Amino acid sequence: MKKVLSILTFISLISVGSIDLNGQCNPDNFANACIPKLASGFNFLKSYKVDGEGGAKDKVEYSYVFTKGTQYMINLCANGAATDGIVVTLFDSGRNKVATSKINGQFISAIAYPCNATGIYYIQYTFDGSAGKCGGSALGFKR
Amino acid sequence: MRLVAIGFMALLITACGSKKPDEKAFLESLDSAKTGPTIDEEVISSILQQIPSPLEISVLLKESGTKYNPAILNTSENLSKYNSNYKKALNLGVYGTDLGYTNIYEQNQDGLKYLTSIKSLADGLNIGQFFDIETIGRLATNSKNLDSLLLITTQNFNSINHYLQTQSRANLSVLLLIGGWVEAMQITCQVAAKDPKNKELQEKIGEQKIILEQIVLLLSFYKDDANMASLLKDMEELKGAFDKINITYTYKESTMEIVDGVAVIKDNSTTTINITDQDVEAIRNLTNSIRNKIIS
């Protein structure tokens, strides 16, 4: 009986998690999990899927127009409490690096970016020693 | 063993329950208005997702002390005018912006009227299943639910856009987005007209040049469609007025520090936006003209 319950618990955990029985990445779950983790006061804008397709992709990139005077937050969600080696880096339209979630070798799960220059920005996710190469992210804003 | 089987069944039911709405009904609804662009739809999606939410403008207006003014919105009573997919998609965007505006100002009674119109337009485009009117309606009855209301409304519109793009109906997604942007522009221009010394608002109008360039690019992919070509012509005229505005960007390396587990960036780059009162007036007039065509 105990064994059966353990199996059921294990299957349930897999089903509500983000890597299915075949080891496929389900980044939607991670992306959705990230939305309520935006800091208080931030309004949700977008959720992003971060799927490295088992190593086939070394980066996943999105873009968004950030506007001067607005503060943005980008957070990361992956298996476990940490970011599983997923790093988010922000580039401006000229591909200059504006921000990164890996600081002094430390993986940070959220970036707060008070934008001072309106323009198109690239939100790039990379995998730095990531085991699952699977995660999600949410973007929010506040004035 | 029976328990395992029951467990699997339960999981299957749960998984099916969380599936997206009736895809079959939507696929069956695809009509002859489906117009495929000649460019990779991934490119279109990547441009579409760049466009900022009109909610940002509403938050700016409220936080700068601008009073709520329903007269500058498109009345929900115009709903019956929108019979083609083209008009429905554009005005779904318009009403989406208006709903966001009423939500931010916590004007729930007005918001509910927009909600009804939005649901009707979305149903007309066979994407009503993505709009959770019951939950939104319930949240809208209590101002304490503002955060949840904004969240679910944004999620619903994101789901609609995502679904349209995956169904090769990005043309509707483009229209939805343009309708929302034009309405936000119109609201900003109307407020700026009453507060001509507000430089922040003028700059906010000026920086829309970056977004308009993307909109013109998006529409150019669909210029074989008569409606889209006509809208493109209007937007190009508006772009002509924006071309007089200079936006100067200066990059300077940013600095970062970790505060409470968050990487807090200090952005040292700047943009300066040179826009005159005459530029604002020209943009306002053209925006108003385009918006009137959309909502009439």
The CATH number covering residue A43 comes to 2.60.120
pLDDT at B146 over 60: yes
- To the nearest whole Å, the CA of B93 is away from the closest chain A CA by 16
Residues 22-81 of A with CB under 8 A from B: 35, 39, 43-47, 62-70, 73
pLDDT at B139 over 80: yes
Write down the pLDDT at residue B38. Answer: 55
pLDDT at A13 over 80: no
Tokens of B46: 């990547």
Write down the pLDDT at residue B142. Answer: 80
pLDDT at A17 over 60: no
Q: Residue B244 and residue B238: Cα distance in Å, rounded?
A: 11
The 3-state DSSP class for residue B55 equals helix
Strand partners, B216: none
- To the nearest whole Å, the CA of B271 is away from the closest chain A CA by 5
- The H or E element spanning position A103 is strand A102-103
- Residue ranges of the domains in chain B? 36-295
pLDDT at A10 over 70: no
DSSP state of A94: T
- To the nearest whole Å, the CA of B80 is away from the closest chain A CA by 30
For chain A, the domain total comes to 1
pTM of the complete model: 0.86
Task: Kindly list the distances between the CA atom of residue A12 and the CA atoms of A2, A31, B7, B18, in Å, as whole numbers in the listed order.
Answer: 15, 19, 9, 14
Beta-carbon separation of B210 and A73 below 8 A:
no
Structural domain range at position A51: 25-142
pLDDT at A3 over 90: no
Mean pLDDT across chain B: 88
Contacts of B267 in chain A (CB under 8 A): 98, 113-117
Strand partners, A138: A47, A75
Chain B residue closest in CA terms to A101: B263
Q: Where are the alpha helices (DSSP H) in chain A?
A: 2-16, 27-34
Beta-carbon separation of A65 and B154 below 8 A:
no
pLDDT per position as a tens digit, A87-111: 999 999 999 999 999 999 999 999 9
Span of A16-20, B87-91, B185-189, B291-295 with lowest mean pLDDT: A16-20
Residue B49 has phi, psi (to 5 degrees) of -75, -10
Q: Tally A–B CB contacts below 8 A.
A: 142
Contacts of B200 in chain A (CB under 8 A): 69
Interface membership of A98 toward B (CB under 8 Å): yes
Beta-carbon separation of B263 and A141 below 8 A:
no
Neighbours of B199 (CB within 10 A): 11
pLDDT per position as a tens digit, B30-43: 443 445 555 678 89
Confidence grade of residue A18 (pLDDT, cut at 50, 70, 90): low
pLDDT per position as a tens digit, B248-262: 999 999 999 999 999
Span of A12-26, A86-100, B38-52, B71-85 with lowest mean pLDDT: A12-26
For residues B198-221, average pLDDT: 96
Strand partners, A63: A122
- To the nearest whole Å, the CA of A142 is away from the closest chain B CA by 8
Q: Residue A31 and residue A45: Cα distance in Å, rounded?
A: 12
Contacts of A11 in chain B (CB under 8 A): 7-8, 11
Write down the pLDDT at residue A69. Answer: 94
Chain A residue closest in CA terms to B152: A44
- To the nearest whole Å, the CA of B75 is away from the closest chain A CA by 26
Amino acid at A75: N
pLDDT at B20 over 70: no
Write down the pLDDT at residue A2. Answer: 43
pLDDT at B113 over 70: yes
Write down the pLDDT at residue A20. Answer: 59
Q: Residue B86 and residue A48: Cα distance in Å, rounded?
A: 28
Report helix, strand and coil shares of chain B as percent, to nearest 5: 70, 5, 25
Confidence grade of residue A19 (pLDDT, cut at 50, 70, 90): low
pLDDT at B24 over 90: no
Strand partners, B105: none
- The H or E element spanning position B117 is helix B108-124
Contacts of B208 in chain A (CB under 8 A): none
Q: Is A67 a domain residue? A: yes
